[in-house]
Structure 1
Amino acid sequence: MKDIITSSREELAELLWKSDPIIHRILKNSINVHDSRNEIFRYLDGIDTALFTIYSHSKQDMNILEKKNARDCIRVLKTILRTQNEKQSHFSALRALYNIARENRVPKNISEGFIFEFIYLFRGINGNSGLFAEKEKPPFLNLDGIKAALERTMFLDDYSKRMDLSFKKYRTGLDHDLVPERNDMKQRILQQFGGNDEDWTDYKWHLDHIISDIDTLQSMVALDGGEIRGLKLAIENNIPFQITPYYLSLFDRENRKQYDLSIRAQVLPSVTYCQNFLRSIRTGTSMDFMDEASTSPIEAITRRYPKILILKPFQSCPQICVYCQRNWEIKSLQESSITKETVLKAINWIKANPHISEVLVTGGDPLTLNDSIIDRLLGMISDIEHVDRIRIGTRTLVTLPSRFTDNLIDIFSKYHKLGERDLCIITHFQHPTELTPDTIDAVSRIKKQGINIYNQQVFTYYNSKKFESCLLRKTMKKSGIDPYYTFNTKGKEETIDYRVPISRLEQERQEEARLLPGLERTDESVFNVPRLGKSHLRAWQDHEVIMILPDGKRVYRFYPWESKMELVEPYNYVDVSIYNYLKRLYYDGEDIDEYKSIWYYF
């Protein structure tokens, strides 16, 4: 694949027609688009029939896995060709292909990504995906007993070696050579602010020294030109930007673009992010991707599911993540304000609704509040008889582990009563470099109280390389944190730098996470449908590709979780281009041939 990723559109068009000369001939010889549609449907039906009949000789020698992939590609291509989907997506991929074939040229609006999608679809329907061409049937399948077992063991060892080799490309915050570097950064930060080691263990000291200006940041770490331009744009336009001293200690001081790439990306707003953020404000485009305004029955509450809701008692965080779902309502620490009356009304609303059994306290980050407020808040929720689980949604375990004082953990323990009420923590580690000795200390003290900790990862470009998220899962699990969800990054224009094709998330789950032991891959990959909530990506019945746009982006139709129970409307989502993602990986030094099956995850 890497040998054609830099090909011109004209070269790719030639490759496209070589991938299926019959479709090319149909398009060239058809009277009109309608005629070509009917002919292609008949052609695809013929292939489909030949794939799984004993009376067809043309497909008899094809491997059953290649046949399955061909059938999937036929299903997708048929869906793309349907007029209803053209109407819904406001584009006809068939018409674009028709024009390319008839005019023997590629229009300017048709991208390489568009052509790539159809090259792989055409190859797929003909059993030429390339996924199995160089592979032979594993020898252990032809053996029995101990011989089969030994051969299978060698096969599994190869899988494991491949994963272990990939792990060596990344770092964890527990690596012995990285811990001293970060201790040096810690001392540099303390010196900058006139603090000492005792201050470092005081979360209030960290909150008093939040970094939110370029000069302070540059005095401690190197920033490149792009980072500086992004930060200046954010500050000039009041786009929230905050980093805790602790999290800054995870930076590579010299900015060598290695282990801290994901760390920096989470907190340093890029130029693209700021420009798109400002464009949304200027054009009046809502940044409330999940449409929480339509799922909030009362201020400070969001509800999308029958038994659980979200309670938001605070609108800020010690540190602001660039890709935050709620960036439209997150404020700086100084600006955040939700009144006591608002929170009391929300709690009374929960109390009056006996159908709610679980409350996720999040925000913002509720652990920014002081202990006495947290104690009162949890006490009021615990007094509601029908609430039997309280989740604390917080990222302070990642950004400010000193927040977990013995007093705070004692408060949690007071409301965690086995058999009566569960209290757990939902956190948000993004990369294995975020797991540190300070994290382990906090987790250890929390777990001693029998309190479980679960992680919700957002799958972004910066943790999407081969086996990168697997190392995160592995490191978390042995540190006492259970993987819970892996989210597709919300489809907000300002987060385009972070978004990854859905097919990559599906590929990662099937080809990488699946190699881990079951207890390390307990997370579920999901897409959040606005208003309605999570749709599980492992279930192909819950989503389908309905169109390929000129820029190579797939349009997905998502069917909400309750679509078999109620007449809920599906949601159409425009993904990011697979081609652009692979090209970005290519220029970042990745071997994109390792990702070649990505085109066949739908």
Structure 2
Amino acid sequence: MLGNHVRESIIQARAELYAKTEWAEYHSHLKHRVHAKDLHKYFLLTESEEIGIKETIRLNVSASPYYLKLSDPFDPHCPIRRMIVPDSHETVLSPEESPDPLHEERLSPVKGLTHMYPNRVLLFSNHSCTVYCRHCMRGRKVSANDERMEEADLIQAFAYIKDHPEIEDVVISGGDPLNLPDSRIEWILAELNAIPHVRLCRLGTRNPVTLPFRITKSLLTILEKYNDDSLSIFCNTQFNHPKECTQEAKEGILRLLKVGISVGNQAVLLKGINDDKETMLQLHKKLLEMRVRAYYLYDPELIPGSRGFRTPLGKGIQIIEYMRGKIGGMGIPHFVNDLPAGGGKITLSPNWYLGYNPKTRQHAFRSALTGKVHYSFEPESSESFTYPILGENVWDQLE
């Protein structure tokens, strides 16, 4: 009886939350975000989740009513729930983990700016998000008040960009830049648009997933204004599970596309959430239906308390191998590892290429479609290349 009473209470609390939220108004969702102290009202918490909420060593808890509604209050294995609610894994710091595994702070010449690659920089526009995803790799900055980017900090960042003509591409991240007011977003885009050598701007935002109502007419007007011959603006978001591919999300994406903002997806491979071949395939099929192109599939970073999300490296390679031949190429992400200590991104893929046989001047490949070996001839060339050599014994045994 007590169990039924608790369940009814949770269902009622959710209904009341949704009723008081003006559903199509993003400000209302931000106003009524659910925080750690109130999670027990909306979920039948496990002991592990109660420990995680009390002792998390990472970042704050927050979820919009919209995103909360996608979660299951009674299933602790719900993929959306696991991205909202901390659990006991999050309270443990493993020896290999670091708050800043990519050394972004070491590569930061001024506050809020990381200059890892020669021709592009990462600009941290703010510290706030609609949902504080439990797998967030920037927990050291996100939700931390001392990481707030004031106007003076942004002016200093713009000055650095202006003084470095090699910078062509600026990624605006955070936090979530779309959690900023329209006026601040317009100011940032106007500043970048006015720098002659900055030609590309990429908005890194999860709001199309967690709060698609943020894609408002006024925001679109701003994006369209500065997406011109001087500056090309792109949007990269993060759908991690098919449950996130809602009609509201699709409508938000279509609004971006209609003002010329192309959208790419950067999923994160997460244990127990999407580390399943068919789940990842269905996610990317849904994304193509939403006109979102696959970009990256990230191997999780070695951040504090992340052991509950990390998968073996081979899992990502297996998933990419499974997807090839079952979906168009624009729906298959690059599986990437952002190397620790500031080494940058590298792509990882199945080994379709078997090697080269100098005697026959042929390359051997394993087909992703048929599983059979196929051959291709090497043309004559004055250039010299090094290939893995397949000896005669191996060559003769290929099937």
* TM-score, with structure 1 as normaliser: 0.54
Deviation (angstroms), 1:273: 1.2
Deviation (angstroms), 1:496: 0.9
Count how many residue pairs are aligned between Structure 1 and Structure 2. Answer: 340
Structure 2 residue aligned with 1:322: 134
Deviation (angstroms), 1:395: 0.6
Structure 2 residue aligned with 1:272: 89
Contact 1:186 1:246 in 2 (8 A): no
Distance change in 2, residues 1:493/1:204 (3 Å):
closer
Distance change in 2, residues 1:377/1:205 (3 Å):
same
Unaligned 5+ runs, structure 1 = 1-184, 541-602
Give % identity.
28
Contact 2:118 2:167 in 1 (8 A): yes
Give the aligned residue type for 1:311.
L
Give the Cα separation in 2 of the matches to 1:517 and 1:376: 38
Equivalent in 190, 195, 206 of residue 20 of structure 2: 195
Contact 1:211 1:242 in 2 (8 A): yes
Give the Cα separation in 2 of the matches to 1:193 and 1:535: 43
Deviation (angstroms), 1:432: 0.8
Deviation (angstroms), 1:188: 5.8
Give the Cα separation in 2 of the matches to 1:186 and 1:219: 9
Deviation (angstroms), 1:239: 4.2
Deviation (angstroms), 1:539: 8.1
Contact 2:321 2:350 in 1 (8 A): no
Deviation (angstroms), 1:194: 5.8
Q: Does 1:491 align with 2:316?
A: no
SS at the partner of 1:231? helix
SS at the partner of 2:121? strand
SS at the partner of 1:263? helix
Pick the structure with more strand per residue: 2
Structure 2 residue aligned with 1:242: 62
Equivalent in 53, 68, 86 of residue 231 of structure 1: 53
SS at the partner of 2:336? strand
Pick the structure with more helix per residue: 1
Structure 2 residue aligned with 1:500: 311
Query: RCO (CA 8 Å, sep 6+): is it higher in 1 or 2?
Result: 1
Deviation (angstroms), 1:312: 0.7
Give the Cα separation in 2 of the matches to 1:470 and 1:315: 32
4+ runs of 1 displaced by more than 6 Å? none
Give the Cα separation in 2 of the matches to 1:501 and 1:245: 33
Contact 1:267 1:321 in 2 (8 A): yes
1:466-487 deviations in whole A, cap 9, x for unaligned? 2211111110011011110111
Give the aligned residue type for 1:456.
Q
Structure 2 residue aligned with 1:423: 233
Alignment of 1:87-126 (within 5 A): none
Contact 1:526 1:537 in 2 (8 A): yes
1:56-88 deviations in whole A, cap 9, x for unaligned? xxxxxxxxxxxxxxxxxxxxxxxxxxxxxxxxx
SS at the partner of 2:186? helix
SS at the partner of 2:201? strand
Deviation (angstroms), 1:447: 1.0
Give the aligned residue type for 2:309.
Y
RMSD between aligned residues: 2.3
Give the aligned residue type for 1:247.
Y
Give the aligned residue type for 1:385.
P
Q: Does 1:354 align with 2:153?
A: no
Give the Cα separation in 2 of the matches to 1:453 and 1:256: 31
Give the aligned residue type for 1:315.
H
Structure 2 residue aligned with 1:75: none
Unaligned 5+ runs, structure 2 = 1-9, 352-399
SS at the partner of 1:391? strand
SS at the partner of 1:219? helix
Give the Cα separation in 2 of the matches to 1:410 and 1:348: 26
Give the Cα separation in 1 of the matches to 2:305 and 2:100: 12
Distance change in 2, residues 1:205/1:370 (3 Å):
same
Structure 1 residue aligned with 2:251: 441
1:276-314 deviations in whole A, cap 9, x for unaligned? 28x99xxxx741111112211221111221221101121
Structure 1 residue aligned with 2:209: 398
Structure 1 residue aligned with 2:71: 251
Give the Cα separation in 1 of the matches to 2:42 and 2:262: 36
Structure 2 residue aligned with 1:31: none
Equivalent in 164, 175, 183 of residue 364 of structure 1: 175
Distance change in 2, residues 1:305/1:519 (3 Å):
same
Alignment of 1:4-43 (within 5 A): none
Structure 1 residue aligned with 2:397: none
1:120-174 deviations in whole A, cap 9, x for unaligned? xxxxxxxxxxxxxxxxxxxxxxxxxxxxxxxxxxxxxxxxxxxxxxxxxxxxxxx
Structure 2 residue aligned with 1:181: none
Equivalent in 149, 160, 183 of residue 338 of structure 1: 149
SS at the partner of 1:467? helix
Equivalent in 512, 535, 539 of residue 323 of structure 2: 512
Contact 1:240 1:320 in 2 (8 A): yes
Give the Cα separation in 2 of the matches to 1:539 and 1:378: 39
SS at the partner of 1:299? coil
Contact 2:200 2:233 in 1 (8 A): yes
Deviation (angstroms), 1:256: 6.8
Deviation (angstroms), 1:319: 1.3
Equivalent in 309, 312, 315 of residue 121 of structure 2: 309
Structure 1 residue aligned with 2:35: 212
